[in-house]
Structure 1
Amino acid sequence: MLILDNITIVICIILVISALCSSLFDTFFKKMVDKEETDSAENLKPVSVVIISDNNSVELDNNLKYFLSQDYSAGYEIIVVVSRDEDGTADVLKTYNKYKNLYTTFVPETSRYMSRRKLAITLGVKAAKNDLILLTDAVCKPVSNHWIEGMSTKCRDGINLVIGYSNYSDDTGQFKTFYRLHKEYTYMYEAFKGFAYSTYGNNLLFKKADFMSGRGFQGNLKYVRGEYDFLVNKYSKFGSAAIAISKDVMLVEDKPSKKAWNNKNTFYFETRKHLQRSFRHRQIFNMDVLGLYLCFILVIFSVIYSVLSARFVILPFSFMALVVPFISRIICAKRVLNRFNANVSLWKVIPFELALPFSNFRFAIKYILSDKYEYISHKS
Structure 2
Amino acid sequence: MILSVLFYSFVVFTVIQTLYSLVFSAFLFDKKKSKTEEVQHPISVIVCAKNEAQNLKKFIPSILKQDYYNFEIVLINDASSDNTLEVMKNFQKKNSNIKIIDVKNIEAFWGNKKYALSLGIKGAKNEHLLFTDADCKPVSKSWIAEINNKFSQEKTIILGYGKYKKENKLVNLFVRFETLLTAIQYFSYAKIGSPYMAVGRNLAYKKSEFFNVKGFINHMHIKSGDDDLFIQDAANNKNTTICTSENSFTVSEAPKSFNEWFRQKRRHISTANHYKFKHQLFLGLFFISKVLFYLLSTILFFLYPWKIMLPIVLAYFLVQFLVIGFSTRKLKEPQLIYYLPFLEIGLLLFQFTIFIVNLYSKPNHWK
Q: TM-score, with normalisation over the residues of structure 1?
A: 0.84
Aligned position for 1:353 = 344
Alignment size in residue pairs: 360
Q: Over residues 115-152 of structure 1, what are the superposed CA-to-partner deviations in whole Å (9 max), with x where a residue is unaligned?
A: 53112211111111110011111111111111111111
Instruction: Check whether the contact 1:72–1:148 (CA below 8 A) recurs between aligned residues.
Output: yes
Q: Over residues 319-354 of structure 1, what are the superposed CA-to-partner deviations in whole Å (9 max), with x where a residue is unaligned?
A: 212222123212322211121123643332112222
Q: Residue 109 and residue 324 in structure 1: after superposition, are their counterparts in 2 closer, same or farther (change >3 A)?
A: same
The CA RMSD over aligned residues, in Å, is 3.0
Q: Is 2:286 aligned against 1:329?
A: no
What amino acid is the match of 1:375? N
Provide the C-alpha distance between the structure 2 equivalents of 1:106 and 1:68, rounded to a whole number of angstroms: 20
Q: 1:141 aligns with which of 132, 137, 144?
A: 137
Question: Which 10-residue stretch deviates more, 24-33 or 57-66?
Answer: 24-33
Q: Map residues 43-54 of structure 1 onto 2, 5 A cutoff.
A: 43-54=39-50
Aligned position for 1:192 = 191
The percentage of counterpart residues that share the same residue type is 23
Aligned position for 1:214 = 213
Q: Map residues 266-277 of structure 1 onto 2, 5 A cutoff.
A: 266-275=266-275, 277=276
What amino acid is the match of 1:280? K
Matched residue SS, 1:219:
helix
Q: Is 2:31 aligned against 1:35?
A: yes
Q: TM-score, with normalisation over the residues of structure 2?
A: 0.86
Question: Which 10-residue stretch deviates more, 37-46 or 91-100?
Answer: 37-46
Q: Map residues 1-380 of structure 1 onto 2, 5 A cutoff.
A: 20-26=15-21, 29-32=24-27, 33-39=29-35, 43-73=39-69, 75-96=70-91, 97-110=93-106, 112-171=108-167, 173-256=172-255, 258=257, 261-275=261-275, 277=276, 279-306=277-304, 314-342=305-333, 344-370=335-361, 372=362, 374-375=363-364
Provide the C-alpha distance between the structure 2 equivalents of 1:17 and 1:365, rounded to a whole number of angstroms: 26
Q: Over residues 214-266 of structure 1, what are the superposed CA-to-partner deviations in whole Å (9 max), with x where a residue is unaligned?
A: 32111322222111122211111232210111111111111235565333322
Provide the C-alpha distance between the structure 1 equivalents of 2:43 and 2:251, rounded to a whole number of angstroms: 20
Q: Residue 10 and residue 204 in structure 1: after superposition, are their counterparts in 2 closer, same or farther (change >3 A)?
A: closer
Compare the two structures and name the one with the higher helix fraction: 2
Question: Which 10-residue stretch deviates more, 149-158 or 352-361?
Answer: 352-361
Provide the C-alpha distance between the structure 2 equivalents of 1:316 and 1:336, rounded to a whole number of angstroms: 31
Provide the C-alpha distance between the structure 1 equivalents of 2:97 and 2:135, rounded to a whole number of angstroms: 20
Unaligned runs of 5+ in 1: 1-6, 307-313
Q: Residue 20 and residue 226 in structure 1: after superposition, are their counterparts in 2 closer, same or farther (change >3 A)?
A: closer
Matched residue SS, 1:227:
coil
Instruction: Check whether the contact 1:162–1:244 (CA below 8 A) recurs between aligned residues.
Output: yes
| Larger Rg computed on CA atoms | 1
